[in-house]
Amino acid sequence: MEKTVSEAIAYRRAVRVFKEEPIDTQKVEQCLKNATLAATSSNLQLWEFYHITNPEIIRRIAVACFNQNASKTAKQLVVVVARKDLWRQRARANLKFIEEGFNNTEMTPRLEKRRKMAQNYYGKLIPVTYFDFLGIFGWLKFLAFQLVGLFRPIYRQARTSDMRVVAHKSAGLAAQNFMISMASIGYDTCPMEGSDTLRVKRILKIPYRAEINMVIGCGIRDEKGIYGPRFRIPFKEVYRLIN
């Protein structure tokens, strides 16, 4: 029986040792489909997921993850990749989806306005936001936006480094969707930031401009796999209610 959302969140832990028990590849794949339903900036979905079941490749990636137990004992691995470099293709995909949707709809002035807004967003605003050349254009945009921001609210994160953060935030949201989905069916995960990302990319033949967001070990928790009780900063220290 699957867990509720709250039960899955409470159940999920960073499990660092997995049992010698296989997990169902198709179930993991379904959890990755759930990952693709995560919230994502501008619906650009600048992510990819490498689902690894080959024991030899798992062994090689474990070495690149410094032989952490969560990688060495994992039955499967998922590598979450941020693909800021694909913004053009993903913007075009959104435009195509919008056009096809409106083509099958009887247009009204209100719908026509919405279509133009969507066309301008993906055809003009996204290119202005994401395009850069050697970081130069990004800094020019950043300075221009700061100047405009003296007079009215404006989006200020315009540099290449800013857009990398945006892509990684979306990839992280997708990764959390995946891990909660795994927890809901009694499977366990461990997100790992500690890895030689260049070696991981070489092993998986990941494009140069793509960036590893995290490597996730997958399996069923061993009793030794959770290293201690869960600790969280007291809620009152991180919660701010603005009335």
Total residues belonging to the chain: 243
Domain limit, last residue, from 117, 146, 161: 161
Give yes or no: residues 81 and 186 share one domain.
yes
> Is residue 36, in this structure, part of any structural domain at all?
yes
Q: Is position 243 within any domain? A: no
**11 part of a folded domain:** yes
Same domain for 187 and 170: yes
Q: 103 and 73 in one domain?
A: no
Burial 54-64, CB ≥16 within 10 A → b, else e = eeeebebbbeb
Same domain, 142 and 202: no
Domain co-membership, 138 together with 113: yes
What pLDDT was estimated at residue 63?
98
User: First CA to last CA across the chain, in angstroms?
Assistant: 40
**Which CATH number does the domain housing residue 76 bear?**
3.40.109.10
Say if residue 75 is in the same domain as residue 176: yes
Q: Are residues 93 and 28 in the same domain?
A: no
> Total structural domains in the chain?
2
Quick: pLDDT tens for 55-112: 999 999 999 999 999 999 999 999 999 999 999 999 999 999 988 887 776 777 887 8
Same domain? 170 vs 80: yes
If asked whether residues 100 and 152 sit together in one domain, one would say yes
Is 185 part of any domain? yes
User: Domain for residue 10, yes or no?
Assistant: yes
pLDDT of residue 3: 96
Residues 101 and 62 in one domain: no
Q: Please provide the average confidence, as pLDDT, over all residues in the chain.
A: 94
Give residue 173's domain range.
Answer: 5-85+166-238
Q: Are residues 79 and 94 in the same domain?
A: no
Among 188, 177, 172, 168, CA closest to 30: 177
Which pLDDT band, with edges at 50, 70 and 90, does 229 fall under? Answer: very high
pLDDT at 53 (0 to 100)? 98
> What are all long-range contacts of 83-87, with beta carbons under 8 Å and residues at least 24 apart?
83/46, 83/47, 83/48, 83/167, 83/210, 83/211, 84/46, 84/130, 84/163, 84/164, 84/166, 84/167, 84/209, 84/211, 85/207, 85/209, 85/210, 86/46, 87/44, 87/46, 87/126, 87/130, 87/163
- The residue with greater pLDDT, 159 or 203, is 203
Would you say residue 218 lies in a domain?
Answer: yes
* Confidence at residue 111, expressed as pLDDT on a 0 to 100 scale: 78
The per-residue pLDDT for range 1-45, each reduced to its tens digit, is 799 999 999 999 999 999 999 999 999 999 999 999 999 999 999
Return the pLDDT at 189. Answer: 98
